[in-house]
Amino acid sequence: MTIEYQKGASTFHRLDARTKILLFAALTFLAVIVVDPVIIAILFTVLYLLGTQAVDRGLLNRNLRVLVVIFLTFSLFQILFFTPEGAHFLFYLIPVYNRVPVTVEGLIRGAAVFFRFFIVVLSVHLMLYTTPPVDLVLAVTRREQDRRPLKELGAALVLGAILFVLALLAFQERLALLQLGALPRLSILAALSLVTGYLVERLAGRGLPAEMGVALSLGFATVGILSQQAQKITDAQKARGYDVRPKNLFRRVQVLTALLIPIFLATLERSQDIAVAILARAFDYNISYRTYRRQLLFRPIDYVALTLIVMLIIGGLVLNNFGLGNPTEQLVLELLSRF
């Protein structure tokens, strides 16, 4: 399953590469804190509909369809082994020995787990499908030589404020255990949030060295080429009358060897050509002072997307703090109590 960049002018295509990376991280965190299956299913549906505007629906469905069985297995584990204290029992999966109880809470959490994995995978797919590999590399590579203290300070303050709100909502019970007053607790949390925000901004602002950026760009570009090369070699072996999928296990190992050796040799040959091309362009001369033709700039749509995802995360944490994080489970249990 090869994921290659697809050209387009959708909302995802217009977002900055750094915004997409941050959205992937934020969506992963959001999928963890949201436990209600209906809410997380709505989030997945919205993300999927936005994705179909950026990527061909058939292509997206083919990639996601492969993972259905795997994610259903994860959901089944959640259904079978999630039995909290006071859970509402439904039936035993092995009734003869009264083993493996299935509960209402397990079924609801299992459905949430199914959509949770799909949100994470779908966000990765959309990031890779709608972002050129060069932009992804530039997003994590050091680009600017001059420092802008005011800009860095502003970014650190904003990040610190976001971390303060998230920590206050996520660790409210643990903060209450500290033998301090409310004001000292908040002051310590604010100081830690600002320091963490500054450190994260400095680490993210430095970026990776140019050598690692080139390695990443070559890796992104090589995946699709290697996949095509492997398909060509497989087709060539089929044209020679070679059975590439025998039923015998030992025969399959022999066929795998006949396929891997040409692929390995072709990869070595391509790597050698790339190394010669890089050296011929004097890449290893004054790497730290190189400039870049492409510049990544945040646009209003990037700030809107980041603000929206931060508000969703804060909203999820607020619902969890007020005990409203799983209204579907509460509704189902209330309906069951009436019968």
**What digits encode the pLDDT tens for the residues 157-197?**
887 888 888 887 777 777 777 777 778 778 888 888 888 88
- Say if residues 116 and 180 touch (Cβ distance below 8 Å): no
Pick the range with the lowest mean pLDDT from 130-144, 206-220, 320-334: 206-220
pLDDT, position 45 = 92
Over residues 199-204, the mean pLDDT reads 74
Higher local confidence (pLDDT), 317 or 211: 317
Give which of 4, 21, 20, 3 is closest to 12, Cα–Cα.
20
Contact 221, 214 (CB under 8 A): no
Give dist(CA 172, CA 194) in Å, integer.
18
CB 80 within 8 A of CB 106: yes
Q: Are 24 and 124 in contact (CB under 8 A)?
A: yes
Q: Residue 111: count other Cβ atoms within 10 Å of its Cβ.
A: 19
What is the model's pTM?
0.75
| DSSP 3-state of 182 | helix
Cα 215 to Cα 122: distance, rounded to the nearest angstrom? 25
Among the listed residues 241, 232, 237, the one whose alpha carbon sits nearest the alpha carbon of residue 267: 232
Distance between CA atoms of residues 24 and 21, nearest Å: 5
